[in-house]
Amino acid sequence: MAELTVSAHYETNVTKSATSLLKLTFPVWGVIAPIVGGVTLFVLVTSLFSHSAAYGGPLFGFFGMAFAYLVLSAFCLLAMRILMKNQMLLDKNGIQFPILVRMASSRYVPWASIRKIDVLNAMNDQFLNKSLIFYLDRGRPLRLSLKNMQPTEVEQLLLAIEMWGTNCEKDPSLNLLQDSLKINTEKEGGKLSYTTMWEEELRRRFSSTTFLPLAPGQIIRGGKLKVVRQLSLGGLSAVYLAQLDGNRLVVLKEAVLPEDGSVALHEKANELFAREATLLMRLKHKGIVEVLEQFSDNNRNYLMLEYVNGQDLRQFVKQNGAQKEAQVLEWAVQLAGILKYLHEQDPPIIHRDVSPDNLVLREDGSLVVIDFGAANEFISKATGTFVGKQSFIAPEQFRGKAVTQSDIYSFGCSLHYLLTGKEPEALSTSNPKEADVSDELSELVVSCTQMEPRDRYQTAAQLLPVLRRMSSTTQKVG
């Protein structure tokens, strides 16, 4: 599959007027002028050779007129070509700026050459008065005025910066710009479409790394494990329900490296997988699914986990609808306690895939976190791809730089889903204000899902007392 490329038209009022004028006058400079100039020049050259030089004065006057016609035609043609190239293209390697923004021998600027990106007039209430400023390692900064672009193209530009500009310093004003874009579009009755481009990039990243999953009934581990059915599949991993020694049900989390990977890559990845699995097998918490064993079979790595017989929260919400605040807070207290335990390990363990799909209710109503850890870490570090549900993944994790605050972001997105019954918008700050939710809980979700890790709650330990107090207050009111 071809690499994803983002294109955006960049038209100033001057270029719009010039383009319209050139199109309107095309019959003059594109047809009449070259014909008249060419014919006149032909006639004059013929006359020059067939008549005496006595007519030199008038002939040279006609020569000048013919030359002027041809120059006009060439000039207009060149101007039209320049205006047609006034477009920007972005891909994973860099940005091709519009010709009127970067008048240099090369309009293409690699991401590695962009030092910083911020917004001019970030605090201005008018969206169209803002500009993006790109500071380069060399040369003057480049300015893109947003009034010269469509909102949908600005939207894609921001997502491209988020996806590919991983080493650029991004001023917090970019987050303000995204919020301004969202508000401006909603006022005009429109809707942003991050999800479309997001999913296209996901498909591209995983398209060349798919593998053939295990089939139901397949026997592995020397006859000890029998695959019952596939639970989920994505990119380089799969999850199965399996039977151990003919009786006990377990869950297998499988991770596979692409066959074209180097020997060094395979060795490093296997080392990471084994190390993370060892850490996970030491975990002892009632809210965390037990990791029973780690092993390799036929060049594939596996985690064997405890099978939890219960319903995940996504299924629960689909069947029962959005949940009341009191119930969500009860689950939130449990989940925050689980994250606190994981993040306080040495080294901290980042789940990387906190979402309603991976939160299961046991028969006694308690919450247990499943499907996390080594396989996700293994895939992320070994292949450079990220792991996580599209609408729940933090921006920095999408760039391959997950931190403990990434789980806090996913935690906030999960609360949004439980309270509203709707997917949170990808690459955005979530706010469940549409549901019957207290202002305090809405503000907590907003704080957890800030775009920058430093702007969120920093630890689950900070969240716990707040959630406990809110849960206690809600129960008393109820």
Min mean pLDDT across 227-236, 273-282, 375-384 is at 375-384
Range with the poorest average pLDDT among 42-51, 290-299, 422-431, 444-453: 42-51
Tell me whether the omega of the peptide bond preceding residue 465 falls within 30 degrees of 0, making it cis: no
The CATH code that applies to domain 219-477 is 1.10.510.10
pLDDT number for residue 285: 93
Single-letter amino acid, residue 7? S
**Most confident of the following: 197-201, 258-262, 439-443:** 439-443
Q: Label residue 250 by pLDDT band (50, 70, 90).
A: very high
**One-letter amino acid for residue 214 of the chain:** L
Q: Where are the alpha helices (DSSP H) in 85-211?
A: 151-164, 173-187, 194-207
Confidence of residue 207 (pLDDT cuts 50, 70, 90): very low
Length of the chain: 478
CA distance 97 to 107: 5
Highest mean pLDDT out of 128-132, 160-164, 396-400, 470-474:
470-474
Range name among 24-28, 46-50, 164-168, 208-212 with the lowest pLDDT average: 208-212
pLDDT, residue 202, reads 46
pLDDT of residue 146: 83
d(CA 402, CA 347): 14
**Strand partners of residue 359:** 369
Q: Over pLDDT 70: what percentage of the chain?
A: 76
d(CA 252, CA 396): 28
Distance, CA of 457 to CA of 464 (rounded, Å): 11
Distance (Å, rounded) from C-alpha 246 to C-alpha 242? 9
pLDDT higher than 70, residue 320: yes
pLDDT bracket for residue 471 (50, 70, 90): very high
| DSSP class of 356 | G
Give the pLDDT confidence score for residue 172 in this predicted structure. Answer: 78
Q: Examine the pLDDT at 205 and tell me if it is beyond 60.
A: no
Residue-wise pLDDT tens digits, 113-168: 898 988 888 677 676 778 888 998 888 888 888 888 877 778 778 877 877 787 78
pLDDT at residue 476 is higher than 80: no
**The pLDDT value given to residue 258:** 60
Q: In 6-146, which ranges are continuous DSSP H helix?
A: 13-24, 26, 33-50, 56-84
**For residue 208, what pLDDT is reported?**
41
Q: Report yes or no: 343 and 354 within 8 Å, Cβ to Cβ.
A: no
- The answer on pLDDT for 352 being more than 90 is no
Pairing of strands 87-90, 6-9: antiparallel
**pLDDT at residue 413 tops 90:** yes
The tens digit of pLDDT for each residue in 56-114 reads: 556 566 667 777 777 877 777 777 776 666 677 888 788 888 776 666 566 788 888 89
What letter would DSSP give residue 360?
E
User: Could you tell me which residue, 25 or 409, shows the higher pLDDT?
Assistant: 409
Residue 79 has a CB neighbour count (10 Å cut-off) of 16
Q: What integer pLDDT is reported at residue 120 of this predicted model?
A: 85
Taking residues 278-288, report their average pLDDT.
88
pLDDT at 247 over 50: yes
Looking at residue 386, what is its pLDDT?
Answer: 46
Q: In this model, does residue 212 exceed pLDDT 90?
A: no
pLDDT at position 1 is 37
pLDDT, average across residues 325-343: 96
The pLDDT value given to residue 206: 40
Quote the distance between the C-alpha of residue 66 and its chain's center: 56
Residue 418 pLDDT greater than 60, yes or no? yes
pLDDT at 280: 83
C-alpha 158: how far from chain center: 9
* pLDDT exceeds cutoff 80 at 428: yes
Nearest residue to 427 (alpha-carbon basis) of 394, 383, 386, 472: 394
* Contact of 77 with 149, CB cutoff 8 Å: no
Q: What is the CA radius of gyration of the chain?
A: 31
Computed over every residue of the chain, the mean pLDDT equals 79
Residue 468: predicted pLDDT: 96
Average pLDDT, integer, range 12-20: 69
**Long-range contacts of residues 76-82, Cβ cutoff 8 Å, at least 24 apart:** 76/22, 76/25, 76/29, 76/30, 77/29, 77/30, 79/18, 79/22, 80/19, 80/22
Non-local CB neighbours of 14 within 8 Å, separated by 6+ positions: none
- 18 pLDDT band, cuts 50/70/90, is confident
Euclidean distance between CA atoms 427 and 91, whole angstroms: 18
Residue of higher predicted confidence among 220 and 275: 220
Buried residues in 380-395 as b, exposed as e (16+ CB within 10 A): bbbbeebbbbbbbbbb
Q: Which of 4-8, 206-210, 383-387 has the highest mean pLDDT?
A: 4-8
The predicted structure's pLDDT at residue 87: 73
pLDDT of 435 reads 85
pLDDT of residue 186: 56
Percentage of residues in the chain having pLDDT higher than 90: 25
